[in-house]
Amino acid sequence: MRSLLIISVVFFSTLSGCRNDNAAPQKTTNVPDSILRQQLKAMIDTTYDFPSKVTSDPDAFMQQLPSMPVNPENQRFYTLLLINMGFCLKDAGQVLGSIRYFEKALDAQQQYHPQNIDVYNYITKPLGNLYTRTGDFAKAISLQEMSIKSALAEKDLAILPSLYNNLAITFQQTGQSDSALHACRQGLALQQKPDAVTGLLYTNISRSYRDQQQTDSAGLYNAKALLILQKGNPTGDSVIWASAALELKSRLAAEAGHYNAAETSIQQAITQLEHHFPESKQREKAKLYEARAAVRRQNHHYADAEKDYQHVLQLFGVQQRNRRIPDNTVTDALHGLAACYRAQGNTDTAVDCYVQAVENDYLVQQLIVSKESNYYNSQHARSLLYEALNFLWGEYENASNDRPSLALKMLWITELSKGRQLLLEIDRTRHWQRDSSDNQQAAFARLRYLYEEIALEKDSAQLRSLKEQVKDIALQFQLSENYFDKQFSAPKIDRFQSALEKSSGNNDLISWLMADSSRFYSFTCHKGKLTACRSGDTVVVKQQLPAFIQTYFRQGPAAYDNDPAAYRATAARILTSLIPDVSRLSAGNWIISPDALLYGLPVDALISGNDFIAAKKNCSYTYTFLLNTLDYTDSKDKAGITIFSKTKHTRPLPDLPYASDEQRKISRHFCTSVKENDQATEIAFLEAMNTPAVLHIATHAVADSGQQPYLVLSQPITLDKLQYTTTQCPLVFLSACQTASGKVITAEGMESLNKAFLSKGVKGVVAAQWQVDDAVMPQLSEAFYEELYRTHNPITALAQAKRKFLQTASLSRQNPWYWAPLNYTGVETSIFIRPRQPVAVWVISGILIAGALFLLIRFRARAMTLRKK
């Protein structure tokens, strides 16, 4: 058996205590060790003999334990029980439950250090594979690479080929075919003689060559794999591995147009699996039936393909009215069904299946914790969305009575595709706030420290070392945060529709989607009535819009000053291209859900009639309308304002003298706590984040393409640092250049500082899209807080501040470069800020109190005199 070094290197014991084990026995009665041992052994036997008793309600099954183990032997049996639970749930296709119990086994292994447990084969290998299955590829790669490091440190060469094979699978699924090939070759180089692992490595080499469209090489290595894996009479896992190679052979044949050969190979795989596992391996069978359905669909045998796709859903236990299971194979089956129904002319059912496929894809992505994997999956999911929208749009154009329903479904799947990682981070932050621990806070502090070192480090070797440390600690934290103990619920279109109807009573809702190089979609909702538009003329959006943003906003005020009429003509043309039915949007508030390059557009600076949109409309932005369906609680308590102001900077950053003026103007009217220059430390910033005050930050922000955006305080506050914080702030005002700017991530929006604050649960952020003017910013911020005090609404307050500025500004200062960089992103909320009492009020109050005390003293003295008499 393998030593425990692999686990001691891979996992930090300080984090294993973070987990709150809901499945642990709740009884505290002291039970004799011998009785507990018998109970543990009996439960382990049940996992082997009657797995259905375990999988029907695993937590209830675990509650049979009368107490937690104390002595080493019982601790070992307890760890083995958790491992068996993980395997039972894995075989039953319960991916989430399986991950939970393997992670619990990992905790038990780290806590108890039981002897004679093969950690790699029984815990880290299945756990890594499950992370790959759920699409959390970054987490899987981290776990697999750390296991390889540990095996190399132990000189355990026998296990390395299998480790490299698992790593190759994950690389292959993330489209990194070169990395997958490299991992496979490293594994093959360590093989002493051909065996089943050799066959697996050949299969993954074949897959990687297929991804690179090197079909001859793919076929060669597939044949090599089958030669090994089908040798003799395969049993157990060897049957599954041989079936996977046959599935790949089928796909290669289908892609070459050899459909009969393709169906023969996949049928052989299905027959093998059904014969050896008549009552189990349902998920593996489902994948094979999905592969056969794909072959039949490619061959235009839609009715047969439809039957196979339905069988896939049956194998997952998916009922007709509840088709949401967090598994990619279910998503693929729903997608395939939609295509089959579409081809057979059953358009209504095809519409439903497309919507269900996108909903299921969203549910699958809820399982993904790491940001990198979320971004990869969000981008990958766009192809399904574009196909679905294209079909639904055709139905919408031809519909007479069902248009509102189709428009709702199109908007629904569009918004489901946006901001998924942001919604996940908000949910995780809420989870951290409920289940915080000292160990969690220590992990946060360590990660923030390392990210600061990375931001300052110039040496490439040291940078690599720091990033490796971050990777290791982030993985430990993700494993310990109990994420899979939460309940994953399918998204509901009814709730979304109710939120739209409620919000569109006083607001007009606008959503955009850049589908591809030839078309974009726009949706508007006015008083509950939805309309959809699709434009194939993308000259304005694809060509004129980027130049418009760059010329009039990024490059400074000169272009507008030179020719205001040209600006107004272009701005009016862009507005009508983006919102063809703009004339019907009569509400005073616009809530906008942008996409792609539209994140850089200040909509209130466009022209309607002869005026800026800002003259009549209050504009706010959201990363997805699903953000506006979350439950937020507004407080009626009056909040103070915490100001972080840094006026002195080192080169190449210039000093910011306006920041002091801004701070003074705000403090003149409202209760503030000011942290200026050297006082603006990271510790003070983190403390301020966890108070219910408005947070106002006046400093530089750096947002160039070479690094992540960050705020310049005494220490840099980067996006990565913000990721590992929590907050109680209801509102953040980022009075700094480019705080709403950053890299645009497909389907996820702008990777910016304002998004980072929103991910921590802040309800709204005021931030700047480009460089701010030193003289204008203090005026806008002062007017904003005055209006916020009056209206309690940050969206209205910002819009009113802009209107005040435009009413008094000179013609040259009405240039939108000066006033339009600030925007509000977030949800509608009410905020009550605490005013500063004038000095005269305090003086008068003091005089009145002193007078009252004087009279009271005289009254008491007189009373005492009377009593003496």
- For 805-811, what is the mean pLDDT? 92
pLDDT class of 850 with cuts at 50, 70, 90: low
Asked if residue 602 has pLDDT above 90, the reply is yes
Structural tokens at position 596: 């792609």
Instruction: Write the pLDDT tens digit of every residue in 42-60.
Output: 999 999 888 888 888 888 8
| CA-closest candidate to residue 717, choices 669, 758, 753 | 753
pLDDT at 482: 54
Asked if residue 866 has pLDDT above 60, the reply is no
Task: Collect contacts of 174-179 with beta carbons under 8 A, ≥24 apart.
Answer: 174/137, 174/141, 174/373, 174/376, 175/211, 175/376, 177/208, 177/209, 177/211, 177/212, 178/208
Structural tokens at position 575: 């507005």
pLDDT at 14: 41
Which residues lie across from 618 on neighbouring strands? 589
Asked if residue 160 has pLDDT above 80, the reply is yes
CA atoms of 388 and 355, how far apart (whole Å): 7
pLDDT class of 24 with cuts at 50, 70, 90: low
Q: Read off the DSSP letter of residue 678.
A: G
Query: CB within 8 A of 493, min separation 6: which ones?
Result: 355, 359, 408, 409, 412
pLDDT, greater one: 851 or 162: 162
Query: CB within 8 A of 332, min separation 6: which ones?
Result: 290
Asked if residue 867 has pLDDT above 60, the reply is no
| CA-closest candidate to residue 421, choices 737, 682, 749 | 749
Cβ atoms of 744 and 597 closer than 8 Å: yes
Ordered by start, the domain boundaries in the chain are 243-392, 502-627, 633-833
Given strand 710-712, what is the order of strands in its sheet? 701-702, 710-712, 716-718
pLDDT class of 128 with cuts at 50, 70, 90: confident
- For 369-386, what is the mean pLDDT? 80
pLDDT, greater one: 301 or 587: 301
Cβ atoms of 591 and 508 closer than 8 Å: yes
pLDDT, greater one: 364 or 24: 364
- Interaxial angle between packed helices 196-211 and 215-229, expressed in degrees from 0 to 180 and rounded to the nearest 10: 160
One-letter amino acid of 163: L
Cβ atoms of 590 and 522 closer than 8 Å: no
Peptide bond into 652 cis (omega under 30): yes
Structural tokens at position 382: 């766009």
Q: Read off the DSSP letter of residue 615.
A: G
CA atoms of 125 and 159, how far apart (whole Å): 11
CA atoms of 97 and 463, how far apart (whole Å): 37
Q: Read off the DSSP letter of residue 319.
A: B
- For 456-474, what is the mean pLDDT? 72
pLDDT at 8: 35
| CA-closest candidate to residue 485, choices 107, 117, 121 | 107
Query: Please, what is the Cα angle at 345 between 344 and 350, to 5 degrees?
Result: 90
Start-to-end C-alpha separation, the chain? 100
Multiple choice CATH, 243-392, 3.30.1540.20, 3.40.920.10, 1.25.40.10, 1.20.1250.20: 1.25.40.10
| Helix/strand/coil (H/E/C) assignment for every residue in 701-750 | EECCCCCCCEEECCCEEEHHHHHCCCCCCCEEEEECCCCCCCEEECCCEE
pLDDT at 541: 75
Across 88-102, 266-280, 541-555, 818-832, least confident range: 88-102
User: Phi and psi of 675, rounded to 5°?
Assistant: -120, 110
Instruction: Write the pLDDT tens digit of every residue in 572-597.
Output: 999 999 998 888 888 889 999 999 88
Q: Which of 258-272, 352-366, 774-788 has the highest mean pLDDT?
A: 258-272
pLDDT class of 437 with cuts at 50, 70, 90: low
Strands 641-645 and 672-676: parallel
Mean pLDDT for all residues in the chain = 85
Helical H runs in 366-437?
Answer: 371-398, 403-416, 420-434
Q: Read off the DSSP letter of residue 92.
A: T
CA atoms of 239 and 262, how far apart (whole Å): 19
Asked if residue 840 has pLDDT above 60, the reply is no
pLDDT at 699: 86
Given strand 529-535, what is the order of strands in its sheet? 529-535, 519-526, 507-516, 589-593, 618-621, 822-826, 764-768, 731-735, 694-698, 641-645, 672-676
Asked if residue 680 has pLDDT above 80, the reply is yes
659 class by beta-carbon count within 10 Å (0-12 exposed, 13-18 middle, 19+ buried): buried
CATH 3.40.50.300 fits 633-833, yes or no: no
Across 501-617, the runs of DSSP E, i.e. the strands, are: 507-516, 519-526, 529-535, 589-593, 607-608, 611-612
| CA-closest candidate to residue 79, choices 47, 55, 112, 37 | 112
Structural tokens at position 732: 């953040």
pLDDT class of 7 with cuts at 50, 70, 90: very low
Asked if residue 738 has pLDDT above 80, the reply is no
298 class by beta-carbon count within 10 Å (0-12 exposed, 13-18 middle, 19+ buried): middle
pLDDT, greater one: 305 or 136: 305
Asked if residue 11 has pLDDT above 60, the reply is no
Query: How much of the chain, in percent, has pLDDT values that exceed 70?
Result: 85
Residue 619, classed as helix, strand or coil, is strand
Query: For 704, left (φ over 0), alpha (ψ -120 to 50), or beta?
Result: beta
